A and B are shown apart, each in its own frame.
Chain A
Amino acid sequence: GESVGLHLPTLSVQEGDNSIINCAYSNSASDYFIWYKQESGKGPQFIIDIRSNMDKRQGQRVTVLLNKTVKHLSLQIAATQPGDSAVYFCAETHNNAGNMLTFGGGTRLMVKP
């Protein structure tokens, strides 16, 4: 399949360790945030979302933290597995933008066995 993110920031972690991927956003009007995972040759896959009235949300092995004061979003993956290797994008939108998503630049996560 094609390569996604040839020159993206890369996070390399050992299998079983926790991963933290960070994202900064600039629009203070943003009120809905999503993390997507994109594997080579595939479209972005929804992981977890959070609205601006929350600062933390947990899913299965994933947690999203939102700090509106500094406009920062993070994705934490517990017990990282080889199947987690992919490019991760944060995306944001706001009420007046309908459903238009603005994506960040992405981070490549590499999991070492």
Chain B
Amino acid sequence: ETGVTQSPTHLIKTRGQQVTLRCSSQSGHNTVSWYQQALGQGPQFIFQYYREEENGRGNFPPRFSGLQFPNYSSELNVNALELDDSALYLCASSLELAGKQYFGPGTRLTVT
């Protein structure tokens, strides 16, 4: 176990709805990265937060947004859900920006 937790484990949403996914970092880790993993593919980088500020962003539209809180836990918000948003959403925490990334178990999102 990496000490990174995510909630919920699974959820089902309807196209057009909004969703919030949550991640608790490993103790002491101040950097959180979010990834989207479609079935049969490798994870794709969404964005990263370092000490509550967005530090980098992948090729995802603005309807994907995030937050990092003072305790370094994090949220991923997705607005106006589309069918293609169905995927496993992974968060990874690291100690500082250049540290090894430790992944949580993921949240499986299904959009119908």
Contacts and interface: CB of A to CB of B under 8 A. Distances in A.
Q: Looking at chain A, what size class is its interface with the partner chain?
A: 20 to 34
Contacts of A2: 88, 108
A3 interface: yes
A1 to B, nearest CB: 10
Interface residues of B, number: 32
B93 to A, nearest CB: 11
A7 B40 contact: yes
Contact of A104 (B37, B42, B103): B42
A102 B105 contact: no
Given A6-B40, A42-B105, A43-B4, A98 B100 contact: no
Interface stretch (B43-51, B62-70, B77-85): B43-51
A3 B42 contact: no
A100 B45 contact: yes
Nearest to A44: B103
Nearest to B106: A43
Interface in A1-52: 2-8, 34, 36, 41-46, 49
Contact of A3 (B33, B35, B39, B102): B39
Interface string B100-112: 1111111010000
A99 B39 contact: no
B100 A43 contact: no
Contact of A99 (B40, B41, B88, B99): B99
21 contacts: A2-B88, A3-B39, A4-B88, A6-B40, A34-B100, A42-B105, A43-B90, A43-B104, A44-B90, A44-B103, A45-B103, A89-B43, A91-B42, A99-B31, A99-B48, A99-B98, A100-B58, A101-B33, A101-B45, A103-B42, A105-B41
Closest 7 CB pairs of A and B: A103-B42, A43-B103, A98-B56, A44-B103, A100-B45, A7-B40, A6-B40
